[in-house]
């Protein structure tokens, strides 16, 4: 990827769901572009399709139509295995509900993500993967929480683990779905600042879905989903 190639280029994305005998068109032809180091907020009313769009861009679901390119490479036609490998290597995802594995420690949660991105088996004892996971947690201020399980961590600490997990493999694209939605205002501000700072250090493009204008104001630009299309705020 050269400097002029967008990290993310999506065009004409459509997604509908069957609701009994009716079809609900959530996305009607969404197009957007993100470059390295750019931070973009995605806003819209509840049910406007923000999470649906992030799941398509994160290769966790497939569009009914349209194209997705990450670092210039087409992603929309990949099978499940190739999509999973591309997702692990190129995309980081931060969820509102954290989505940590509760039977694993903070270090093990991040380490699992790093092993998947490296193509190593989940039981691998590779020193390089372990060092990368430890460094990622230290970078989000959790050096003293490596062996703690999610139930032993506060909400803010769990989201920091999720950020470390998302960034441990230095993805080119970071997607975040309401990452501060389950946190109080002060903790949310701290987590958002940390997320954007770490992503900027790595040069990742960030697309962050939010309903909070204060969160959107921390990003370099804002897009809004309205009636299944992206409009510029």
Torsion of CA 31, 35, 40, 44, to 10 degrees: 10
pLDDT at res. 233 = 58
- What is residue 137's predicted lDDT score, i.e. its pLDDT? 94
**pTM, to two decimals:** 0.91
User: pLDDT-derived band of residue 92, with 50, 70 and 90 as boundaries?
Assistant: very high
**Residue carrying the six token digits 């940590």:** 100
CA distance 145 to 116: 22
Tell me what pLDDT residue 120 has: 58
DSSP one-letter code for 30: E
Range list of β-strands (E), the chain: 8-19, 22-34, 39-43, 65-70, 73-74, 91-94, 173-177, 205-209, 221-226, 229-232
Per-residue pLDDT tens over the stretch 190-200: 999 999 999 99
Residue 46 pLDDT class (50, 70, 90 cuts):
confident
Q: Would you state the pLDDT for residue 3?
A: 66
Q: What is the pLDDT of residue 6?
A: 95
Q: Is the pLDDT of residue 90 over 60?
A: yes
Residue 13 scores a pLDDT above 70: yes
Residue 167 contacts residue 138 (beta carbons within 8 Å): no
Percent residues over pLDDT 70 in the chain: 94
Residue range 203-222: mean pLDDT, rounded: 94
* Mean of the per-residue pLDDT values of the chain: 90
For 16-33, write each residue's pLDDT tens digit.
Answer: 998 888 888 999 999 999
Any idea where the domains of the chain sit in the sequence?
Answer: 36-51+79-220
Average pLDDT over residues 52-65: 94
The tens digit of pLDDT for each residue in 114-173 reads 777 656 555 556 788 889 899 999 999 999 999 999 999 999 999 999 999 999 989 999
Answer whether residue 112 shows pLDDT above 80. yes
Reported as a single tens digit per residue, the pLDDT across 1-12 is 566 899 999 999
Please tell us whether the domain made up of 36-51+79-220 is placed in CATH 3.40.50.300. yes
Taking residues 89-98, what's their average pLDDT?
90
Handedness of CA 28, 46, 194, 159 (dihedral sign): negative
What is the Cα–Cα distance from 194 to 191, expressed in whole angstroms? 5
Q: Which residue has the higher pLDDT, 34 or 233?
A: 34
| pLDDT value at 58 more than 70 | yes
Residue 198 exposure: Cα atoms within 13 Å on the Cβ side: 28
- What angle in degrees, to the nearest 10, is found between the helix axes of 155-167 and 106-118? 20
């Amino acid at each position: 990827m050269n400097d002029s190639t967008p990290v993310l280029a999506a065009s004409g994305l459509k997604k509908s769901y069957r609701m009994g005998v009716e079809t609900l068109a959530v996305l009607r032809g969404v197009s957007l572009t993100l470059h390295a180091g750019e931070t973009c907020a995605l806003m819209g009313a509840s049910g406007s399709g923000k999470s649906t769009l992030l799941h398509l861009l994160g290769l966790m679901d497939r569009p009914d139509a349209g194209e997705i390119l990450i670092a210039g490479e087409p992603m929309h036609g990949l099978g499940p295995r190739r999509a999973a490998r591309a997702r692990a290597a190129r995309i980081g995802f931060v969820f509102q509900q954290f989505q940590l594995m509760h039977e694993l420690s903070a270090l093990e949660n991040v380490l699992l993500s790093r092993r998947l991105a490296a193509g190593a088996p989940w039981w691998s004892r590779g020193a390089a993967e372990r060092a990368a996971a430890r460094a990622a947690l230290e970078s989000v201020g959790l050096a003293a929480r490596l062996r703690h399980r999610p139930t032993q961590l506060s909400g803010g600490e769990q989201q920091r683990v999720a950020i470390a997990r998302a960034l441990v493999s230095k993805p080119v694209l970071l997607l975040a779905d309401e990452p501060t939605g389950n946190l109080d205002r002060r903790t949310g501000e701290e987590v958002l600042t940390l997320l954007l700072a770490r992503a900027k250090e790595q040069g990742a493009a960030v697309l962050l879905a939010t309903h909070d204008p204060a969160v959107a104001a921390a990003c370099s630009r804002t897009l809004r989903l309205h009636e299944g299309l992206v409009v510029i705020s």
